[in-house]
Amino acid sequence: MIQRTITVEKEACIHCGLCIRDCVAACLEFDEEKIPRYLPEGEQRCLACQHCMLVCPKGALSFGGLQPEQCGTVSYGNHEELLKLIKSRRSTRAYKKEDLSQEQLDKLTEMLAYAPTGVNAPSVRFSLVATRKKMDKIRKITYDCLNTVRADSPLFIIKEMAEASKRAGKDLVYRGAPALVVASVDTKTAASVCQTVDPVIALSYLELYAASLGLGTVWDGIAVALARTFPEIEAQFQIPQGCKLSFLMALGIPDISYQRTPQRTTDRITIIR
């Protein structure tokens, strides 16, 4: 966890006030020498968003002891490429046998730290089931649970679908994926309005970034419904104490490729002027 501290290199500061102006929580003021500092209680309000450090034109402000020169370069990429990626991403329901490589796992974990959360709280936790071996164990536990579902249960439809898929040699619940991302939310740190949204944002970012790495993903609502019903399944996900399961995303190397993107209409969008 990065500490909430502000350090300004006096000689470098040009007193422009940009850090004060951009502070989301109005935490900062100028001191007598026109050097930014926390207001009384500013530190408590601070979201640790780092905007003050990121906006400084002179790299004069360090947040939490971090060096501004160690920050990444700002780049917004290419809008045409991004839209192509968004249109090309598909829910993947066929995966190769291989596990994700360590390099792929490292890239995904780096990215997950950059999804926004309400009030910048460290609200979302992830568990990454990273091997087919472990996934097969979870698959077995899941199907054992599903077998106990009775005809009067709302999950019975899933049981019937799973049996039909099995007859076709397919895994309905995890789509044969070798990996699974488990997003959970810390109900103490996440603002209540953000508890549903924060994990979903992170998984949405993950889905697109994974596609850019040539990986396939699928939002796994069926597995979520089962894990919420059967503690034996949820126990496999090592969700930290105080956190509750939010959503699951299966992923792996796709064993299918698409030749074109879908055609969709924009008639669900209302522009208000």
What are the CB-based long-range contacts (under 8 Å, 24+) for 97-101? Answer: 97/132, 97/178, 98/132, 98/178, 98/252, 98/253, 99/130, 99/131, 99/132, 99/178, 99/179, 99/252, 100/130, 100/178, 100/179, 100/215, 100/251, 100/252, 100/253
Interacting positions 30-89 with ligand SF4 (CB under 6 A): 36, 46-52, 55-56, 58, 60-61, 63
Range 161-187 burial, b when 16+ CB lie within 10 A, else e: ebeeeeeeeebbbbbbbbbbbbbbbbe
Provide the residue count of the chain: 273
Q: How far is the CB of 272 from ligand FMN (least distance, A)?
A: 19
- Strand order through the sheet with 124-129: 124-129, 179-186, 243-252, 216-219
Looking at the Cβ atoms of 42 and 139, the one nearer to ligand FMN is 42
Asked if 117 interacts with ligand FMN (CB under 6 A), we say yes
Cα–Cα distance between 247 and 182 in angstroms, integer? 6
Looking at the Cβ atoms of 39 and 201, the one nearer to ligand FMN is 201
Q: How far is the CB of 107 from ligand FMN (least distance, A)?
A: 19
117 interacts with, out of ligand SF4, ligand FMN, none, CB within 5 to 8 A per kind: ligand FMN
Cα–Cα distance between 166 and 149 in angstroms, integer? 16
Q: How far is the CB of 181 from ligand FMN (least distance, A)?
A: 18
202 interacts with, out of ligand SF4, ligand FMN, none, CB within 5 to 8 A per kind: none
Asked if 116 interacts with ligand FMN (CB under 6 A), we say yes
Burial class from Cβ neighbours inside 10 Å (0-12, 13-18, 19+) for residue 72 reads exposed
Looking at the Cβ atoms of 35 and 201, the one nearer to ligand FMN is 201
Return left, alpha or beta for 242; rule: phi > 0 is left, psi -120 to 50 is alpha, else beta.
left
Asked if 186 interacts with ligand FMN (CB under 6 A), we say no
Here's the x/- map for ligand FMN, 45-84, by CB under 6 A: it reads as --x-x-----------------------------------
Looking at the Cβ atoms of 94 and 201, the one nearer to ligand FMN is 201
- Site size toward ligand FMN, by CB under 6 A: 12
Point out which span in 14-22, 86-94, 196-204, 233-241 binds ligand FMN (CB under 6 A): 196-204
Asked if 201 interacts with ligand FMN (CB under 6 A), we say yes
Q: How many C-beta atoms lie closer than 10 Å to residue 229's C-beta? A: 17
Which positions touch ligand SF4 (CB under 6 A)? 8, 13-19, 23-25, 27-28, 36, 46-52, 55-56, 58, 60-61, 63
Which positions touch ligand FMN (CB under 6 A)? 24, 47, 49, 116-120, 194, 197-198, 201
